[in-house]
A and B are shown apart, each in its own frame.
Chain A
Amino acid sequence: MLRAAAKGFRADPTVPGRGRPVPPGRSVTGRPGPDLVSRDPAWHVLRRCTYGPTPDSLAEIRTIGVDAWFARQLAPASIDDSACDRIVARFPRLRMDSATLRAGALEQYSWDVMYELGQATIARAAWSRRQVFEIMVDFWSNHLNVTNPFEGAWDTRHLYDRDVIRRHTFGRFADMLKAAARHPSMLGYLDNQSSTSEHPNENYARELMELHTVGVDAGYTEEEVRAAARLLTGLSIDWDTGLYRYDPEIHATGPVSVLGFTHPNGDPDGEAVAMAFLDHLALHPATARHIAVKLCLRFVADEPPPALVARLATVYLRNRSAIVPVLAELFASPEFRGAAGAKVRRPMQDIVATVRALGLGPDVRGTQGLENLYWMVDGTGDAPMGWHPPNGYPDVAVAWASAAGTLARWNAHLSLAANWWPDSLTRPADLRKYLVPVLPRTYGALVDALALRLGGVTMRPAHTAGITRYLDRTPSSRLYADDDALGWRFPYLVALVLDSPYFSFR
């Protein structure tokens, strides 16, 4: 992929974010591309901060305005999400603790509940009304990655999702970090459970500093990694129950000094010191910057604007790692508002956006369709929480420029539009009428109507002509109600619009 080319398609911060949709074929910045996405703020915000625009979400944001919409999304308790909760309730084992699972609800070492977590995550992405919350759950799941499935977390990974990630997604990062450090999923994933005073295992300490907090460029030494590993010994599990337990017997005592944190560490019960160290890391300026950069990568551009990073880091520290004020600053920033078209959809975002755009719903009962949807996403290399190394999925376009991912997305569009597989999701009674309620007079107008409905802009004339040529017509050809384009070829037509560059951006 063209790494250099990515630089050519940065958002232009001089373009205000509150403009009207740009007419097709006209470029705002003079660079190629901007006419491929709607610059309507409603479309920009829903593309970037949800799993994809829907007619309902567009109506809502137009009614109350972008600012009120963000305020509502940042107070998720104010949003009734009972319909989605009922879908997720189809996975009863996700509500069970480890002891209940071990008592017979789950075969020992089975991966089933971990897969159910992946499927429930896709369900929430597709149908939760708390969309910004879901996006941030994904963000933190990657930031404090514990790969799902991971064999060591067979009976705890869903609890990590509930008690570490979701509980603190809109809370304070320091609290999430400390919850992760005392969770068997993380302790198993990064080996701290078997780190002892005699043989400290550095895996968790190293990733804690490099990935979770200050970042690899913060200037710490190998000696400090080793000191951190010693300090964190004792954070372990009860080997009978698999649950968290602090074990003073394996804790390495003795003075430590790491990144400005110094402590005599003389008590064998070192849990409080470990938590103080985690607080120190969470509130370190380098951590603030690290998280600000990652938030900009998620919401603004592949090259984070330095001024915004600095502002977000300041807000983060001023609020002692509370995340909602940081998000509020980000969403109100001109850098964010002017960044339409600066990010490319990742495969899961693309597939879920397709589900939402086509009005697909969960199975009438059961979870077969969701299961299939999970495997469809998995086939693109982007299953939720599925990244193997501890650093979480990359979130820049060049990392996702693979032909395999591209092809999988295109194939998914057709498969979903044509109801091939998954074939048990509920769907509009008549997809054509759902997407194009009023029959246009010409083939060109049909393509325009679909492009507007799915992307908020009409296509460049050459592209429209390319699609009508696929249908053996020209844009001015008269459209008749019994044409194949409105019959068996309609799902192919929908898929082509979803395959187009217009639908590639988030």
Chain B
Amino acid sequence: MDRCCSEMTRRGFLGRAAAVGAAGALTGLVGDTLATRLAFAAPAYTGDTVVVLSLRGGFDGMSVVVPTGDPGYLQARPSIGIGADRLVGRDPSGFFGLHPALAPLVPFWENGQFAAVHAVGQQDPTRSHFAALEEMERAAPGTSLRTGWIDRMLGVRGSSTVWGGVALGGPLAPQALGGPVPDLALESVDGFALDGEGDGGSIAAALRTMYADAPPLVAAPALGTLAAVGTTTAMKAAGYTPANGATYPDTVLGGALRDVARLIKARVGLQVACVDYGDWDMHEGLGTPEAGQWMHDHLTELAQALAAFATDLGPAGMGGVTLLTLSEFGRRVEQNASNGLDHGHANAMLLLGGGVVGGTVYGSWPGLGEADLDDGSLRGTTDYRTVIGEVLQQRCGMGSLAGVFPGVPAQRLGLVTART
């Protein structure tokens, strides 16, 4: 075990960077301001890092957190429903069970770090991917707000670095980060480097001069890029080995979660990390819970990546992390002719973290009887924003939620303990 890396502190991180000569490059890249901040300014934020895992495309929560106690479930899904004997990780009542592909997460379910909330929905159900995504990330139905909820959260909390809100795994930030607070989207930490820097002069210094008085439309991304690239250059020089034998899948998702763990350990001031894991739009061929089937294989990658993330951070690290999943909508209760599911409404959310009171499924089950359904879909009984809101208040030191989730119903499910 590489103790230095597994328990990397700000000082250790900079120490290693200096040892391999990266500090010099850092000064050239980011100038005095950020270098000073990296070296001396402790981040003010002391709450959990919230990892928002977006399961874009319409995640079928019912295939994953299976309501095996509801007879309507297998009736509606004769060829893609999962029999009770196949489920793993039952909740205390036995009503719900987990898809067998979530086996890597069962230890965390059993030790109380992994939980689910079911029948979670948005206030205004729409079945358009884009309208639903936009509304979910704006998270302010009935208002004219144009910003995303994470941007508003960072605005309330304040962030002294570009690392407050980060999207990993792709070059574009989600709409939830849209708004006046600077944010960062990057494919990976190691790949984030300014080519040619230091070959005779500092490109970064010249760019800073040119963008210092440019219109914000182009200056903000440029200056944010310059600040961020200084940090990643130092982190790359320091190297990274996951702790506790954690093995991430060699996929975009695995790489993104590995980098989130790395940024958490490097204490760059990460408050919210956004990671996308899409391809859930299973209109055709969702499949049975066997290898080679779409849902099974897609969940396997998800479970392996999440288990590696929790293993890498270890109990101490996970004590400061809450990961939650979001998807724009769930899917129809009844399967279609293509062994798939069309767009529906309410969904399941997954939560993983040291503060999570796990091993159980939260929420109020609306039932799958004809009269219980919302236009053929699971009825939403819990506003997804109350789930996030509880995490923000209990784990992130957030007071009133009015600025982040205007008009959100006051509700506590008890799904996380208060951070002390």
Contact = CB atoms under 8 A, between A and B. Distances in A.
Contacts of B316: none
Given A388-B278, A389-B130, A495-B196, A402 B209 contact: no
Interface string A9-48: 1000000000000000000000111001000000000000
A191 B284 contact: yes
Task: Give the one of A31, A194, A381, A469 with max B CB within 10 A.
Answer: A194
Contact of A406 (B193, B206, B221): B221
B209 A399 contact: no
Nearest to B222: A406
B215 A402 contact: no
Contacts of B205: 466, 469-470
Contacts of A155: none
A365 interface: no
B180 A469 contact: no
Interface string A91-106: 0000000000000000
A325 B99 CA distance: 56
B401 interface: no
Interface stretch (B116-124, B183-191, B294-302): B183-191
- Give chain A's interface residue range (CB within 8 Å of chain B): 35 or more
A198 interface: yes
Question: Could you tell me the dominant secondary structure of chain A's interface residues?
Answer: helix
A5 B220 contact: yes
Interface string A172-200: 00000000000000000001001010110
B343 interface: yes
A415 interface: yes
Nearest to A499: B207
A12 to B, nearest CB: 13
Interface in A383-420: 388-391, 397-408, 410-411, 414-415, 418
A380 interface: yes
Contacts of B375: 222
Contact of A2 (B127, B206, B217, B338): B217
Contacts, number: 194
B319 interface: no
Interface in A453-506: 459-460, 462-463, 465-467, 469-472, 484, 489, 492, 495-496, 499-501, 504-505
B168 to A, nearest CB: 10
Interface stretch (B61-69, B82-90, B223-231, B411-419): B223-231
A32 B214 contact: yes
B210 A210 contact: no
B121 to A, nearest CB: 15
A216 B133 CA distance: 13
A407 B59 CA distance: 32
Contact of A3 (B146, B200, B203): B146
Nearest to B182: A1
Nearest to B342: A202
Contact of B171 (A203, A210, A405): A405
B216 interface: yes
B128 A404 contact: no
Given A3-B146, A206-B127, A222-B375, A414 B337 contact: no
B211 interface: yes
Contact of A202 (B171, B206, B343): B343
Given A202-B342, A216-B131, A501-B211, A484 B206 contact: no
A398 B210 contact: no
A210 B278 CA distance: 21
Given A202-B343, A399-B172, A500-B210, A5 B178 contact: no
Given A470-B203, A496-B207, A403 B214 contact: no
Contacts of A388: 278
Given A203-B283, A407-B194, A414-B195, A2 B178 contact: no
A367 interface: no
A401 B211 CA distance: 14
Contacts of A404: 170-172, 185-187, 192
Interface in B154-213: 162, 167, 170-173, 178-180, 182-187, 192-196, 199-203, 205-211, 213
Contacts of B171: 380-381, 402, 404-405, 408
A191 B196 contact: no
B194 A199 contact: no
B283 A401 contact: no
Nearest to B228: A403
A498 to B, nearest CB: 11
Contacts of A344: 217-218
A6 interface: yes
B227 to A, nearest CB: 9
A401 B220 contact: yes
Nearest to A390: B129
A4 interface: yes
A8 interface: yes
Given A1-B221, A203-B283, A414-B196, A466 B337 contact: no
Nearest to A196: B337
A222 B192 CA distance: 44
Given A381-B172, A391-B130, A411 B194 contact: yes
Contacts of A381: 170-172
A6 B179 CA distance: 11
A496 B217 CA distance: 19
B220 A2 contact: yes
Interface in B117-153: 127-131, 146-147
B219 interface: yes
Interface in B326-379: 336-338, 342-343, 375
Interface in A220-270: 222, 225
Given A400-B172, A402-B171, 11 more contacts: A2-B220, A194-B284, A203-B283, A381-B172, A388-B278, A390-B129, A402-B221, A407-B225, A410-B194, A418-B196, A470-B206
Which 5 A-B residue pairs are closest in the complex by CB-CB distance? A466-B209, A199-B337, A5-B216, A381-B171, A404-B171
Interface of A: 1-6, 8-9, 31-33, 36, 191, 194, 196, 198-199, 201-203, 206, 210-211, 216, 222, 225, 344, 380-381, 388-391, 397-408, 410-411, 414-415, 418, 459-460, 462-463, 465-467, 469-472, 484, 489, 492, 495-496, 499-501, 504-505
Interface of B: 127-131, 146-147, 162, 167, 170-173, 178-180, 182-187, 192-196, 199-203, 205-211, 213-222, 224-225, 228-229, 278, 283-284, 336-338, 342-343, 375
10 contacts: A1-B183, A191-B338, A203-B283, A389-B130, A402-B172, A402-B173, A403-B228, A466-B208, A469-B206, A505-B218
